[in-house]
Structure 1
Amino acid sequence: MATSPDQLRSWMGGPEDEHLEFKKASHNFDSRKLARYCSALANEGGGKIILGVTDRLPRRVVGTQAFQSLERTKAGLIAGLQFRIDAEEISDPGGRVLVFHVPAHLPGKPVAFEGAYWMRRGDQLVSMTPDMLKRIFDETQLDFSAETCRDADLTDLDPEAIDNFRAMWRRKSGNTQLESLSAQQLLTDAELLAPGGITYAALVLLGTARALGRHLPDAEVVFEYRAAEPSVRYSQRREYREGFLLYRDDLWAGINARNDVQHFQEGLFVWDIPAFNEAVVREAVLNAVTHRDYLRHESVFIRQLPASLEIVSPGGFPEGVTAENILWKQSWRNRRLAEAFAKCGLVERSGQGADMMFGQCIREGKRTPDYADSDEFQVVLRLSGDVQDPRFLRFMEQVAKEKAISFATEDLVVLDAIHRETHVPERLEGRLPALLGQGLLEKTGRGRGTRYILSRRFYGFLRQKGVYTRKRGLDREANKQLLLKHLQDNRDQGSQLGELRQVLPHLTRGQVRGLLRVLRKEGCATCQGRTRAARWYPT
């Protein structure tokens, strides 16, 4: 368990996420707070809390005097949490560092401290939400898709669907012997037929319409098309209640029938982009069928509009997956069903395919898949069919060709977020240096005021060099105007520096002071008093 100096430096250089927590704790650290952090880390899959290191990048070792008797601290944690926590002390040139190693909770058993189950929300510790607790309690539930349907038999499976499954599995595996297997042996080898009978995974994948109606009526996908958003009535509706392999192509054909193609031209280069990419839509539908909760008496709904597609599947995300981490978190709800899909080549890797969906949407200049309206009862996915900025797409293609590189999905997500001026996920901040080095991004500001923009080359490609100049210089002038407006709104009582920092929380104390000095030099502001009691007024 001993942590090497190189490992410590590696942790210090990476982003702080749900598995890693840094605390300065120079002199002391509250033992009850430590226990709450350990509870939260255990409930979120395990991790480490490190004392004696500053929590913001670039981190440095400052040393800690907390918990001089480490064995007694460990004993107290175990007694309070009823859960084993390991700890070690590291002697670093910068001072004493403590590392508390927190394993993940046992399946189905969240870790409590003082009667509460803890989780982290930003920089705070809060009680776990009901949906988070439910996910942990549900971990010990059996895989529903692997259970057998007592009254079903081989006649409930469609021969055409079985033949399709055989052909797809043979093509995926290259195993020609699959062609000579009986249907019963084929399904047994695929673990769709168990000693107890037909599995629910087999019904979802291969079942006849009659069998689904009798044994699993909620395994239904409903497709609706509406010509306009406000329209209450759909202009087309199809209900699919049979094995997935029997309707998957028909479902896509229905969506593709109204799949408008958008035409774009950049100089002599002309290209077409459909509103809905086939690979993305098929993956999204597959995820809904694979990862839905089949114990909920609801159908999967697919609602198409001319420029958007919404897929709603019953049950929240699988255990551990959220709208924020879906790009890199992998989990199954119905493992047997997911494995059957993998055998016939419909899914790769985890079966979620979120990286492909995100990457393809960005490559086509569309918004990334939107899961914002999902909750513990349903997963809601919205796909936008509008191409937002085809020139951004052309620029990326040109850079990739010139530099002979291919962009990982994580790189595309970072570039897309900066292009749209939205938040870059903390987990992906480590991709920024490489993108800076490739000349795709530029950095403005310093310290906590650092901001990233697309490079001069991008705006030159768009013939918008003036926009680039404005973006490079926008922050400083905009920040000055925000400070001046606050001073004018509070001219009677004046404004202290701490209050003005609330106006620009992304800037350091020194940066705010620098802007105030500029305002004073320009004759726009004046300061009365000294030290922390000083107040600023508009002139």
Structure 2
Amino acid sequence: MRAGEELVTMTPDFLKRIFAEGQADWFEQLAKENASADDVVALLDTQSFFELMNLPYPTSRDGVLARLQQERLIESRIGGWSISNLAAILLAKRLDAFPPELARKAPRVVIYDGPNKLNTREDKLGAKGYAVGFENLIDFVHSSAPQNRFVEQVVREEVKMFPRQAIRELIANGLVHQDFLATGGSVMIEMYSDRLEVSNPGLPPIKVERFIDEYRSRNERLAELMRRMGICEEKGSGIDKVVSAAEVFQLPAPDFRIGDTRTTAVLFAHQDFAEMSKADRTRACYQHCCLKYVSNQRMSNQSLRERFRLPESKAAIASQVIGATKDAGLIKPDESETSSTRYARYLPFWA
């Protein structure tokens, strides 16, 4: 394949996507065929499905199967019931009861002692489908987080280093936006002493600089069902909530990194402003500016100082951060407001 001016070898995953063109969508493919009605109820957590959908549980098994078929999760055929990959990945009581290709999509949580991978404290593989196992997954990750000793009294009710809301949104985002055709990897949730990293197979369809204001779902059927189950909102506000939680809990700005085959979101533990690098400050300034803009507000020196918890006497330092972010091409002055430097307001570069 051509990459710029060069010819490069296609990766196995790229070839797989080419060969998959014209075939059934991954979610429509079958995880199990010729299943009996008893098999369907034994393999899928139908009780949790109806609870998550806020629907009364049918009085008969036929009613349960009819609703699942209405949602295109299962299909009645001559040899019995066919269970789709979508049904299995969302509702499986045990993912390993299905083919290995699907079971390997289970999210994996690894908790390390320290800032690197040298010492593993816990390594846990998700056993259930994404929807039916989601809350337990979030509970486990949140309860494993270190304490936040620096958070202000106003948010003292949640003292974990990583806010539950941010953990929830990042994990939901990783599950929904992964590339299901990619092989050899799953959603990884790795917790270190100073950060939480959530990575998923596949590269995003939009640039990381636009994560706050734009949204494009790679897997629309999955996203739509998870929205209806209350797991994600399918309206692009998840990253906004992560950035907002980082500001409220006095954490450095989250970082979003694109590798060769994976996308990684990093949530950092508390760090004083003086300890932040120039890149950390610039990223925080840009994200704060974006957050203000999507809230129909404008960033100012004062709002940035409030974000960093800096007193008014540090206005010059906030101006330096704004200047560095402007030099990086990430923000620009809002010339419709005022030309005064003191009362300047700022916009993201794309506004």
TM-score scaled to structure 1, two decimals? 0.46
After TM superposition, list the pairs within 5 Å mapping 1:103-502 onto structure 2: 142-149=24-31, 151=33, 153=35, 155=39, 158=42, 161-170=45-54, 176=56, 182-194=63-75, 197-207=82-92, 208-214=94-100, 216-264=102-150, 271=156, 273-297=159-183, 298-317=185-204, 320-350=205-235, 353-372=238-257, 374-386=258-270, 388=272, 420-422=281-283, 424=286, 428=290, 431=293, 435=297, 441=300, 453-454=301-302, 462-465=310-313, 467-468=314-315
The 1-side partners of 2:154 and 2:124 are apart by 39
Compare relative contact order (CA 8 Å, sep 6+) and give the higher one, 1 or 2.
Answer: 2
Measured at CA, do residues 456 and 471 of structure 1 come closer, stay the same or move farther in structure 2, by a change above 3 Å? closer
Measured at CA, do residues 424 and 251 of structure 1 come closer, stay the same or move farther in structure 2, by a change above 3 Å? closer
Superposed CA RMSD:
4.5
The secondary structure found in structure 2 opposite 1:371 is: strand
The secondary structure found in structure 1 opposite 2:198 is: strand
The residue identity in structure 1 corresponding to 2:66 is Q
Deviation at 1:323, TM superposition (A): 1.5
Q: For each residue in 1:159-186, what CA deviation from the matched residue of structure 2 results, as whole angstroms up to 9, or x when unmatched?
A: 672101101101xxxx558677722112
Contact 2:27 2:86 in 1 (8 A): yes
The secondary structure found in structure 2 opposite 1:163 is: helix
Contact 1:228 1:305 in 2 (8 A): yes
The secondary structure found in structure 1 opposite 2:65 is: helix
Deviation at 1:264, TM superposition (A): 4.5
Measured at CA, do residues 247 and 273 of structure 1 come closer, stay the same or move farther in structure 2, by a change above 3 Å? same
The residue identity in structure 2 corresponding to 1:242 is K
The secondary structure found in structure 1 opposite 2:104 is: coil
Measured at CA, do residues 227 and 331 of structure 1 come closer, stay the same or move farther in structure 2, by a change above 3 Å? same
Match of 2:340 in 1: none
The secondary structure found in structure 2 opposite 1:367 is: coil
The residue identity in structure 2 corresponding to 1:146 is E
The 2-side partners of 1:302 and 1:430 are apart by 29
The 1-side partners of 2:146 and 2:197 are apart by 16
The secondary structure found in structure 2 opposite 1:204 is: helix
After TM superposition, list the pairs within 5 Å mapping 1:506-521 onto structure 2: none
The secondary structure found in structure 2 opposite 1:420 is: helix
Measured at CA, do residues 308 and 353 of structure 1 come closer, stay the same or move farther in structure 2, by a change above 3 Å? same
Contact 1:304 1:310 in 2 (8 A): yes
Deviation at 1:224, TM superposition (A): 0.9
The 1-side partners of 2:247 and 2:29 are apart by 39
Q: For each residue in 1:247-292, what CA deviation from the matched residue of structure 2 results, as whole angstroms up to 9, or x when unmatched?
A: 32332233233323324477x8673542111122122222222222
Q: For each residue in 1:405-435, what CA deviation from the matched residue of structure 2 results, as whole angstroms up to 9, or x when unmatched?
A: xxxxxxxxxxxx999345748x959949x75
Match of 1:95 in 2: none
The 2-side partners of 1:212 and 1:190 are apart by 20
Contact 1:280 1:357 in 2 (8 A): yes
The residue identity in structure 1 corresponding to 2:64 is A
Match of 1:10 in 2: none
The residue identity in structure 1 corresponding to 2:182 is R
Match of 1:74 in 2: none
The secondary structure found in structure 1 opposite 2:103 is: coil
> What percent of counterpart residues are identical?
17
Deviation at 1:473, TM superposition (A): 9.4
Deviation at 1:201, TM superposition (A): 0.7
**Structure 2 residue runs without a partner (length 5+):** 325-351
The 2-side partners of 1:222 and 1:351 are apart by 24
The residue identity in structure 2 corresponding to 1:420 is R
Deviation at 1:332, TM superposition (A): 2.3
The residue identity in structure 2 corresponding to 1:182 is G
Higher CA-based Rg: 1
Q: For each residue in 1:211-262, what CA deviation from the matched residue of structure 2 results, as whole angstroms up to 9, or x when unmatched?
A: 2355623222211110112342311111124322443233223323332332
The residue identity in structure 2 corresponding to 1:238 is K
The 1-side partners of 2:125 and 2:69 are apart by 30
Measured at CA, do residues 457 and 198 of structure 1 come closer, stay the same or move farther in structure 2, by a change above 3 Å? closer
Measured at CA, do residues 158 and 353 of structure 1 come closer, stay the same or move farther in structure 2, by a change above 3 Å? farther
The 2-side partners of 1:141 and 1:370 are apart by 36
The 1-side partners of 2:253 and 2:147 are apart by 19
The residue identity in structure 2 corresponding to 1:145 is F
The secondary structure found in structure 2 opposite 1:224 is: strand
Measured at CA, do residues 435 and 356 of structure 1 come closer, stay the same or move farther in structure 2, by a change above 3 Å? closer
The secondary structure found in structure 1 opposite 2:124 is: strand
The residue identity in structure 2 corresponding to 1:192 is L
The 1-side partners of 2:264 and 2:21 are apart by 22
Measured at CA, do residues 352 and 289 of structure 1 come closer, stay the same or move farther in structure 2, by a change above 3 Å? farther
Q: For each residue in 1:322-349, what CA deviation from the matched residue of structure 2 results, as whole angstroms up to 9, or x when unmatched?
A: 3222223322222222222122121213
Task: Name whichever of 136-145 and 338-347 sits farther off.
Answer: 136-145
The 2-side partners of 1:221 and 1:190 are apart by 24
Contact 1:209 1:242 in 2 (8 A): yes
The 2-side partners of 1:286 and 1:296 are apart by 18
